[in-house]
Amino acid sequence: MIKYSNKLVLLLVGASLAATASFASEGELQKVMKARGLSEIDVVRAAKTYNPSGVKDEYVVFSSGGQSGQVIVYGVPSMRILKYIGVFTPEPWQGYGFDEESKKVLRQGNIRGKEINWGDTHHPALSEKDGKYDGKWLAINDKANPRIAIIDLADFETKQIVVNPVFKSSHGGAFFTQNSDFILEACQYAAPFDNNYHPIEDYKETYRGGVTMWRFDPKKGRVQEKESFTIEMPPYMQDLSDSGKAASDGWGFTNSVNSEMYTGGIEVGMPPNEAGMSRNDTDFLHIYNWKKLAELAKDPKNVKMINNHKVIPMDIAVKNNALFLVPEPKSPHGVDVSPDGEYITVCGKLDTHASVYKWSKIKKLIDNKEFEGKDPYGVPILDMKKSLHGQAELGLGPLHSQYSPVDGEIYTSLYVDSQVVKWNYKTLKILDKQNVHYNIGHLCGMESETMDPQGRYIIALNKLSIDRFQNVGPLHPQNHQLIDISGKKMDLLVDMPLPLGEPHNAVAIRVEKLNGHVRYTMGTNSRTDTVHEGKTLAGQERVERNGNKVKVYATMVRSHINPERITVNKGDEVTMYLTNLERAQDEAHGFTVDHYNIHASLEPGKTSSVKFIADMEGVFPYYCTEFCSALHLEMMGYLMVKDPNKKYVSAQKTKMQTMTPAQLKAEYDKTVATNAATDAVIQSVVKFLKENKYEKHKVVADLVTDAMDQYGKIPEQKKLANAAAKAGNMENAILFENMIWQYMVKTADVGIRAKDALVRLIATKQSASAAAGEKAFGEGGCGGCHVIGKVSSGPDLTGVLERHGKDGTKWVKDFIMKPETMYNDPYTKAMIDYFNLRMPNQHMSEQETKNIIEYLKWVDENANLF
Ligand code: CUK
Ligand code: CUA
């Protein structure tokens, strides 16, 4: 057995001793069901959404965060929240808005010089290749302050915010075209494109709506503002949109809600907006050929520059047969294009019907120039009846639709009825209805907005949760409900409270398509993905002063910040560049200087900077804000701000008792001995790894690199320790030796993880029964006393089948199933005395016991590895 130093044993074995799992025996399930009042169907639903510890989800959902201005990430089917991404609103955990790099992104969203620190996010969209999600980028709109943001799915960080130069609000976006060449963003409330005052009486003449076509570079993942353009449209208040696909690729579709062009005026005795804006029986679906318009926009003759942005005037679009209208039932909301691009479903909140338009019919009317007339702005209007495939009566308040992979199958939300309706958009037949709680907005199917919808689940994004959750005050969380759509009937599985703004839409992607990384190349500015000017490696830490500008180049690594003392003058402008030197997965550090309203999150390899004017005199601790290691609390330092105009008198020194030279020497010797013992453990692990060719396995090799990184720091500390000892400075010698021990523990921690991973990779293959046995062993709590390969609170089980003679297997079986009958056997008695513990009856079934024996056989086969 390997000899561990005491401290190390405590650290490394502590976790396994504490893990005494409970176990399930027959009747246990019934007992739990009874105690919790669960029916059989409840348990089935629970089983459909339950992820055992460590098991991951099949889909990842990106939900808009409504008024929080953020994006919420969660898993399906577990509905577990994974992340909030800071987008339009500062988010301190990620340092978003509190470090310099992210501030630059947030400030791209300033409008006319004004800082805006929130957003109203509505529609997230995932980038596509050939009409399918590629897992690279996420775009989302801000309705309140017309902007669009781009999030990089390599690190789930916001990289760009673009302000719409002509809209004053924007709603119908973001929607990617099928190869992510463009992102559609329709305006909402019509307003003048310029920034001047125009009286409301001039609404029809000077207020405009439109759709902005943001040019997107799918390789760089950035909107190219100069190559983007806006299609001018009548002031009808454009609403939701969708981009065409397959058959209708190259075209865009946008609803509108105020073709009346009503402008209200309650305060002067006019009927309110809501009455005037819903007077007509129909509004207009806008149909435009964005591909053609993109070509036209390249010629300056076809565009008008407004606020430095290209706008294609309506008459140019009309003249080039690129803009049309078709009536749709009044005050519509959602428009959704089918996976083959042939059907366009429009739902009107005030109409009980869904209207299904057929692209081939529309296209024919356009090609034949068969129009029923023109609107006041000269835009050709297509005949509604001739464009429609048909209408289906769904219920009250239909809003949004999602497609499934089943031919003709579509799901639509009914806001007023609080229902999801499943119907067929080809036969126009209703198939099923499901109650939801309450007042549903969007629906989110799995990749349902692509040419490759996955089916299986749909999520109801409900606006009101009313009585579904524990009361947390008058402001309630939203309620996202997961619905199983794999059967003939929908089945509501589970509720998830969502407490961060009012999400409008969400998009879901298969997890296999996501490729998030776990560390940055050393010294990366994550917001630009370039090498940071402040990148600092170990040994390069320094403070530079230039007049009253102070630059600190600092590093962070478990468990210290270098430098640990910084003194500046009151009034200095201080910039601190921080580099996290870690390479280990999930070893993030956070950084703040108390009282200075700054914070940075430093994931492995990242460099960020914080900047502040040291305008308060005093002593300010700075520290790491992530509990990153056992010595996390010690990961700190002091910023001292001196007033250069003051004279400081140093305090009288208190006399402290000090250790005698003999005591110091004894402590030093003890520390050195502990380090030698710890190093022996490390060497044994290293020997094992080398003998078993760890370098052939990437996962293990990465861990070993991490471990050796830590180990490599020891010689330098050793030199310092020896020098201090030689100079007779035993205090410092002890401290440097302690530092060596810190690095050793870090090395051992990762090294042992590498060893465990390697054992898994090189051991003989487990039979199904042995695997089940290992699971039973773990879940039955056996590991609480028995550690394979080691004597723990119970004997080592390697070789247990052999040590009881040729009937060893039977002996083990009996001992597992009815240990109490054997407590008086001489061998067992001796063991009980030795360990001061009796083997408990864990009520394993015969099958579980058999499996455990198979597992123990597998252990013996691989005994050399434990
Ligand atoms: S909208 Cu809110 S429920 Cu902005 Cu897509 Cu329909
Ligand atoms: Cu680094 Cu705590």
Determine the distance separating the centroid of ligand 1 and the alpha carbon of 461, expressed in angstroms. Answer: 10
The mean pLDDT value for 181-199 works out to: 97
Which atom of ligand 2 is nearest to 589's Cα? 1
Q: Which two tokens stand for residue 332?
A: 């519509």
Residue 464: other Cβ atoms inside 10 A: 14
Determine the distance separating the centroid of ligand 1 and the alpha carbon of 505, expressed in angstroms. Answer: 7
Q: DSSP class of residue 850?
A: H
Which atom of ligand 2 is nearest to 588's Cα? 1
Residue 628: other Cβ atoms inside 10 A: 21
| Burial of 484 per CB tally in 10 Å (0-12, 13-18, 19+) | buried
For residues 494 and 482, is the Cβ–Cβ distance under 8 A? yes
**Ligand (nearest to CA of 125):** 1
Which atom of ligand 1 is nearest to 122's Cα? 4
Determine the distance separating the centroid of ligand 2 and the alpha carbon of 45, expressed in angstroms. Answer: 41
CA distance linking residue 247 with residue 362, whole number of Å: 12
The mean pLDDT value for 244-263 works out to: 96
Determine the distance separating the centroid of ligand 1 and the alpha carbon of 442, expressed in angstroms. Answer: 6
Q: Domain 59-513 falls in which CATH fold?
A: Methylamine Dehydrogenase; Chain H (2.130.10)
Which atom of ligand 2 is nearest to 629's Cα? 2
- CB of 628 shorter than 6 A to ligand 2: yes
Determine the distance separating the centroid of ligand 2 and the alpha carbon of 746, expressed in angstroms. Answer: 13
Residue closest by Cα to atom 3 of ligand 1: 441
Q: Is the Cα dihedral 778, 781, 784, 789 positive or negative?
A: negative
CA distance linking residue 757 with residue 324, whole number of Å: 62
**Each residue's pLDDT tens digit, 547-564:** 999 999 999 998 899 999
**Each residue's pLDDT tens digit, 815-826:** 999 999 999 888
**Each residue's pLDDT tens digit, 152-162:** 999 999 999 99
- CB of 665 shorter than 6 A to ligand 2: no
Higher pLDDT, 782 or 314: 314
For residues 346 and 332, is the Cβ–Cβ distance under 8 A? yes
**Each residue's pLDDT tens digit, 27-52:** 899 999 999 999 999 999 999 999 99
pLDDT above 90 for 522: yes
Q: DSSP class of residue 191?
A: B
* Orientation of helix 6-18 relative to helix 661-691, angle to 10°: 60
pLDDT above 90 for 805: no
**Each residue's pLDDT tens digit, 696-707:** 988 888 889 888
Task: Look at residue 763 and give its three-state secondary structure.
Answer: coil
Which atom of ligand 1 is nearest to 333's Cα? 6
**Ligand (nearest to CA of 63):** 1
pLDDT of residue 836: 82
**Each residue's pLDDT tens digit, 610-646:** 999 999 999 999 999 999 988 899 999 999 999 999 9
Determine the distance separating the centroid of ligand 1 and the alpha carbon of 502, expressed in angstroms. Answer: 10
Which atom of ligand 2 is nearest to 558's Cα? 1
The mean pLDDT value for 658-663 works out to: 88
- Segment among 71-80, 186-195, 378-387, 823-832 with least mean pLDDT: 823-832
**Ligand (nearest to CA of 67):** 1
- Chain centroid to CA 284: 38
- CB of 589 shorter than 6 A to ligand 2: yes
Which atom of ligand 2 is nearest to 627's Cα? 2
Q: Which residue has the tokens 């995932």?
A: 126
**Ligand (nearest to CA of 188):** 1
What's the predicted TM-score (pTM) here? 0.83
Q: How far is CA 516 from CA 3, 345, 347, 513, in A?
A: 40, 34, 36, 10
pLDDT of residue 14: 38
- Listed residue (682, 661, 671) closest to 737, CA to CA: 671
Which atom of ligand 1 is nearest to 502's Cα? 2
Which atom of ligand 1 is nearest to 442's Cα? 3
Which atom of ligand 1 is nearest to 400's Cα? 6
CA distance linking residue 771 with residue 65, whole number of Å: 42
In a mutational test of the pocket of ligand 1, which residue from 255, 498, 505, 507 has the highest number of ligand atoms less than 8 Å from its CB?
Answer: 505
Annotate 218-240 with b (16+ C-beta within 10 A) or e (fewer).
beebbbebebbbbbbbbbbbbbb
CA distance linking residue 682 with residue 676, whole number of Å: 10
Give residue 636's identity as a one-letter amino acid code.
Answer: M
**Each residue's pLDDT tens digit, 735-766:** 999 999 989 988 888 888 888 889 888 888 88
Q: Which helix (H) or strand (E) holds 318?
A: helix 314-319
Determine the distance separating the centroid of ligand 1 and the alpha carbon of 140, expressed in angstroms. Answer: 13
Domain 524-642 has CATH 2.60.40.420: yes
Q: Which helix (H) or strand (E) holds 747?
A: helix 730-762
- CB of 626 shorter than 6 A to ligand 2: yes
Determine the distance separating the centroid of ligand 2 and the alpha carbon of 473, expressed in angstroms. Answer: 35
Determine the distance separating the centroid of ligand 2 and the alpha carbon of 730, expressed in angstroms. Answer: 28
Q: Which residue has the tokens 């991973």?
A: 757
Pocket-forming residues, ligand 1, beta carbon under 6 Å: 122-123, 171, 240, 333, 399-400, 441-442, 504-505
Strands 636-642 and 565-569: parallel
Higher pLDDT, 354 or 778: 354
pLDDT above 60 for 13: no
In a mutational test of the pocket of ligand 1, which residue from 121, 504, 507 has the highest number of ligand atoms less than 8 Å from its CB?
Answer: 504
For residues 609 and 524, is the Cβ–Cβ distance under 8 A? no
- CB of 610 shorter than 6 A to ligand 2: no
**Ligand (nearest to CA of 401):** 1
Q: How far is CA 576 from CA 573, 610, 767, 860, in A?
A: 10, 5, 56, 55
**Each residue's pLDDT tens digit, 569-623:** 999 999 999 999 988 889 999 999 999 999 999 999 999 999 999 999 999 999 9
CA distance linking residue 862 with residue 866, whole number of Å: 7
**Ligand (nearest to CA of 122):** 1
The mean pLDDT value for 419-434 works out to: 98
CA distance linking residue 89 with residue 56, whole number of Å: 29
Q: DSSP class of residue 782?
A: G
Q: Which two tokens stand for residue 406?
A: 């089943």
CA distance linking residue 243 with residue 172, whole number of Å: 11
Determine the distance separating the centroid of ligand 1 and the alpha carbon of 240, expressed in angstroms. Answer: 8
In a mutational test of the pocket of ligand 1, which residue from 67, 143, 241, 333 has the highest number of ligand atoms less than 8 Å from its CB?
Answer: 333
The mean pLDDT value for 103-126 works out to: 98
pLDDT above 90 for 8: no
Which atom of ligand 1 is nearest to 504's Cα? 2
User: How would residue 21 be classed by pLDDT, with cut points 50, 70 and 90?
Assistant: very low
Determine the distance separating the centroid of ligand 1 and the alpha carbon of 282, expressed in angstroms. Answer: 20
* Helix, strand, coil abundance in the chain, percent, nearest 5: 30, 30, 40
pLDDT of residue 24: 53
- Listed residue (57, 138, 88) closest to 501, CA to CA: 88
Q: Which two tokens stand for residue 697?
A: 């396995």
Residue 504 φ/ψ, nearest 5 degrees: -100, -65
CA distance linking residue 776 with residue 758, whole number of Å: 22
Strands 309-312 and 222-233: parallel
pLDDT above 70 for 502: yes
Task: Look at residue 587 and give its three-state secondary structure.
Answer: coil
Q: Which residue has the tokens 């180990």?
A: 711
SS (H, E, C) 682-718: HHHHHHHHHHCCHHHCHHHHHHHHHHHHHHCCHHHHH
| Burial of 487 per CB tally in 10 Å (0-12, 13-18, 19+) | exposed
Q: Which two tokens stand for residue 641?
A: 């701000």
pLDDT of residue 843: 85
Determine the distance separating the centroid of ligand 2 and the alpha carbon of 592, expressed in angstroms. Answer: 11
- Listed residue (145, 131, 223, 136) closest to 184, CA to CA: 223
pLDDT of residue 558: 85
User: How would residue 25 be classed by pLDDT, with cut points 50, 70 and 90?
Assistant: low
Determine the distance separating the centroid of ligand 2 and the alpha carbon of 635, expressed in angstroms. Answer: 6
Determine the distance separating the centroid of ligand 1 and the alpha carbon of 503, expressed in angstroms. Answer: 9
For residues 238 and 188, is the Cβ–Cβ distance under 8 A? yes
User: How would residue 4 be classed by pLDDT, with cut points 50, 70 and 90?
Assistant: very low
pLDDT of residue 1: 36
CA distance linking residue 186 with residue 208, whole number of Å: 12
Determine the distance separating the centroid of ligand 2 and the alpha carbon of 628, expressed in angstroms. Answer: 4
Which atom of ligand 2 is nearest to 625's Cα? 2
pLDDT above 70 for 531: yes
Determine the distance separating the centroid of ligand 2 and the alpha carbon of 725, expressed in angstroms. Answer: 30
In a mutational test of the pocket of ligand 1, which residue from 67, 240, 349 has the highest number of ligand atoms less than 8 Å from its CB?
Answer: 240
**Each residue's pLDDT tens digit, 391-407:** 999 999 999 999 999 99
pLDDT above 50 for 415: yes
Annotate 351-361 with b (16+ C-beta within 10 A) or e (fewer).
bbbbbbbbbeb
For residues 339 and 453, is the Cβ–Cβ distance under 8 A? yes
Residue closest by Cα to atom 4 of ligand 1: 122
CA distance linking residue 295 with residue 215, whole number of Å: 12
**Ligand (nearest to CA of 582):** 2
CA distance linking residue 242 with residue 170, whole number of Å: 14
Q: Domain 768-865 falls in which CATH fold?
A: Cytochrome Bc1 Complex; Chain D, domain 2 (1.10.760)
pLDDT above 60 for 2: no
CA distance linking residue 195 with residue 158, whole number of Å: 28
Q: Which two tokens stand for residue 812?
A: 């083990």
Task: Report the greatest alpha carbon distance in the chain.
Answer: 105
**Ligand (nearest to CA of 586):** 2
CA distance linking residue 433 with residue 394, whole number of Å: 9
Q: How far is CA 52 from CA 47, 484, 753, in A?
A: 10, 19, 21
Determine the distance separating the centroid of ligand 2 and the alpha carbon of 618, expressed in angstroms. Answer: 24
For residues 172 and 491, is the Cβ–Cβ distance under 8 A? no
Determine the distance separating the centroid of ligand 1 and the alpha carbon of 291, expressed in angstroms. Answer: 26
Q: DSSP for 794-832, please give it.
A: S---TTTTTTTGGGHHHHHHHHHH-GGGGTTSHHHHHHH
Task: Give residues with Cβ within 8 angstroms of 47, minimum separation 6.
Answer: none
Number of residues assigned to the chain:
866
The mean pLDDT value for 171-175 works out to: 95
- Listed residue (182, 107, 167) closest to 306, CA to CA: 167
Strand ranges in 86-156 using DSSP code E only, listed in sequence order: 121-129, 132-142, 147-152
Q: Is the Cα dihedral 803, 806, 807, 812 positive or negative?
A: positive
Q: What is the dihedral of CA 496, 501, 504, 508, to 10 degrees?
A: -50
**Ligand (nearest to CA of 124):** 1
Residue closest by Cα to atom 2 of ligand 1: 504
Q: Which residue has the tokens 């993109």?
A: 294
Determine the distance separating the centroid of ligand 1 and the alpha carbon of 398, expressed in angstroms. Answer: 12
CA distance linking residue 639 with residue 625, whole number of Å: 16
- CB of 426 shorter than 6 A to ligand 2: no
| Burial of 55 per CB tally in 10 Å (0-12, 13-18, 19+) | exposed
**Ligand (nearest to CA of 332):** 1
- Listed residue (603, 631, 472, 594) closest to 527, CA to CA: 603
For residues 750 and 708, is the Cβ–Cβ distance under 8 A? no
The mean pLDDT value for 413-441 works out to: 97
